[in-house]
Amino acid sequence: MANVATHMARRKARDDGEGTNERAIPFNKQDFQTLRDQCLRSRALFCDDTFPAQPDSLGYNQLGRYSPKTRAWCGRDPRSFVQTHSSFSVERKERTSAKEPWFWQYGEWVDVVIDDRLPTKDGKLLFVHSAEGSEFWSALLEKAYAKVNGSYEALSGGSTTEGFEDFTGGISEIYELSKAPPFLFKIIQKALSRGSLLGCSIDITSANETEAITRQKLVKGHAYSLTAAEEVHLHGTPVQLVRIRNPWGQVEWTGPWSDNSREWDGVRPDEKAKLDYSADDGEFWMAYSDFLRQYSKLEICNLTPDTLTSPEVGRWSHCQFEGTWMVGSTAGAAGTTRFQIRLDDVDDDPHDGEDGCSFLVGLMQKDGRKERRFGRDLNTIGFAIYEYKGRSNVHLGPDVLLRQRAVANSSTFINMREVCDRFKLPPGEYAIVPSTFEPHKKGSFILRVFSEKQAAASPMEEDINADVDELKIKDSDVDPHFKHLFMQIAGNDSEISAAELVQILNRVVSQRTDIKTDGFGLETCRQIVSLFDSDGSAKLGLVEFHLLWEKIQRYLEVFKSYDSDKSGTMSSHELRGALTEAGFQLNSAVLEVIVARYADAEFAIDFDCFVSCLIRLELLFKIFKTLDKKSAGKIELDVQQWLCLGIN
């Protein structure tokens, strides 16, 4: 119950704008202004007890407590920034908002507070450091990033795309240049026009090749940035060029189109003047064809509209959603967590010359680096896209979409933090189904969609509804044989209490071999009495008990029809269909709570749990309908009403 309340509170906070670029969430609930005021009052330096200068903050294995690679932390008095011309001092005001202490973490911006104690060994910083001895901003930024991820060791094995995304909130796509799509140059130009960040690198085949310099002065295993893509004319013939930057600020490409190479002599002076090709600053031009041959990988981080400040760059349309894979309900390829997207407008200036709607889909699983400490691996994840020609609130059985062929898929199912792909489809409505490759794998995820034109997207869920038959009979309609049996079991007061109902129901189900049950409990029978007690006696009379008996017979038919393997229990994956047949239309969020409440460790549901679930649902719908006097779909309770309902 508390977990559900916490989840609902977080969802409301997000709806109110918390976690956006304008309202970052204080990480670990540490508010910078409050902490600063406390330190000023006490005249003491801030010491961060949530990320202390202790071995656990360094790591858990290679950087663990007893690792010979690490030693005690050392306090320093660093300056956060020094005026310098080193390659670390990069101005990016035209690209992103200046929010240096913020990180994007799984759909939310977080504000991280740190102290200035940095890990050292033999008097030198252990990790990131600047060539300028008194410049520490990069080490402090690294510490904040390590804090977010749980430790310094959790940062090992990172990728350019993860850094791109966590520092900008963007979505990254990766291109293997040996298999570059035919219109990649146009994609690069469009990305640059939207303020995207582009990185490229040359793969290494062994650790010995790291930072090795090729004959034409390219560095292997090194993160370059791609900063421009232009077309010039060499003696009248068009040539595609890309501009690459080495963050070292030196060591430049010496091949064709490098600084002062003879190719520039054949370019018109006005074109040469625009390209600024001769500065010795680590930035250089090269032919796009050479770029494809020399480099191995291109990574593009497409930025969200709220991180771009320049009015001169284009904007993606962007939306994101949170979801979970719950074992027993929504995990696996047949899961029911789905999202719909409606594409109405085709691209302007399509990169391949053909009409269509371009969009990116990124599926990211949460908290993978933090889980490493506990030896947990990332799930293997991916997604499929189906054409969806239907209503906004269509009934989604477990296979309603999966019976048709997907119109597009993620390029692979992979155990990485994120899988992201670019698609181009005709205008229409589509359903995106994110899933784990293996069934029975739990996890939380973020699904993001970036589209060239405005696109409507939303979780693909059913309306929550109940259409339960309300049986109405009179005393005279009750079969005489049933009435005789009732009088035998009801006793002198001709009514059945919750305690008596426990004995009656358990006596009946114990005689059946086609269902499994642990027996009805007193709490379930109290709820049954509460639902069927029409005269407020807290007991069931003849008509009330007859209605209950009819209801249980109906529930038994539904239960047996969904016990596909005749085991006497129902799989939790079959529960949605059974609930629908019983008259309840529920979404995935409610289904997850039901499975957690009523399924056993093997995700099986026995008959008494099934009946208890249905009775509880019917009672809740009945209470809500009574209180929702205006049929607005919302009710308001004071604390007394809430407590009375919760305890009842």
What are the catalytic residues? 222, 246
User: Whole-angstrom Cα distance, residue 412 to residue 278?
Assistant: 42
Beta-carbon contacts of residue 546 (< 8 Å; ≥ 6 apart): 473, 478, 482, 486
Q: Cα 36 to the chain's mean position, in Å?
A: 33
Residues 489, 530: contact at Cβ < 8 Å? Answer: no
> And the tokens for 562?
């969904």
Residues 418, 349: contact at Cβ < 8 Å? Answer: no
User: Whole-angstrom Cα distance, residue 148 to residue 367?
Assistant: 10
CA separation, residue 427 to residues 34, 92, 456 (Å):
51, 36, 12
Taking alpha carbons only, the member of 571, 543, 539, 552 closest to residue 506 is 552
Residues 155, 141: contact at Cβ < 8 Å? Answer: no
Residues 331, 232: contact at Cβ < 8 Å? Answer: no
User: Whole-angstrom Cα distance, residue 579 to residue 337?
Assistant: 17
Residues 263, 253: contact at Cβ < 8 Å? Answer: no
Name the residue with tokens 């202490």: 101
Q: Cα 220 to the chain's mean position, in Å?
A: 33
The conformation of residue 540, written as its DSSP 8-state character, comes to B
| Amino acid identity for residue 466 in this structure | A
Q: Which helix (H) or strand (E) holds 378?
A: none
Taking alpha carbons only, the member of 543, 621, 532 closest to residue 583 is 621
Please tell me the total number of residues recorded for the chain in this structure: 648
User: Whole-angstrom Cα distance, residue 434 to residue 432?
Assistant: 6
Q: How many CB atoms lie within 10 A of CB 432?
A: 24
Q: Which helix (H) or strand (E) holds 359?
A: strand 357-365
User: Whole-angstrom Cα distance, residue 26 to residue 48?
Assistant: 14
Cα first-last separation, the chain:
15
Residues 406, 385: contact at Cβ < 8 Å? Answer: yes
Taking alpha carbons only, the member of 228, 231, 291 closest to residue 255 is 291
Helices (H) and strands (E) in the chain, counts: 17, 25
Taking alpha carbons only, the member of 613, 546, 549, 625 closest to residue 582 is 613
Residues 396, 474: contact at Cβ < 8 Å? Answer: no
User: Whole-angstrom Cα distance, residue 77 to residue 632?
Assistant: 60
CB neighbour class for 580 (10 Å; exposed up to 12, middle 13-18, buried from 19):
middle
Answer positive or negative: Cα dihedral of 369, 372, 376, 380. Answer: positive
Radius of gyration of the chain, Cα coordinates, nearest whole angstrom: 32
> And the tokens for 168?
């900008």
Residues 443, 363: contact at Cβ < 8 Å? Answer: no
User: Whole-angstrom Cα distance, residue 434 to residue 413?
Assistant: 10
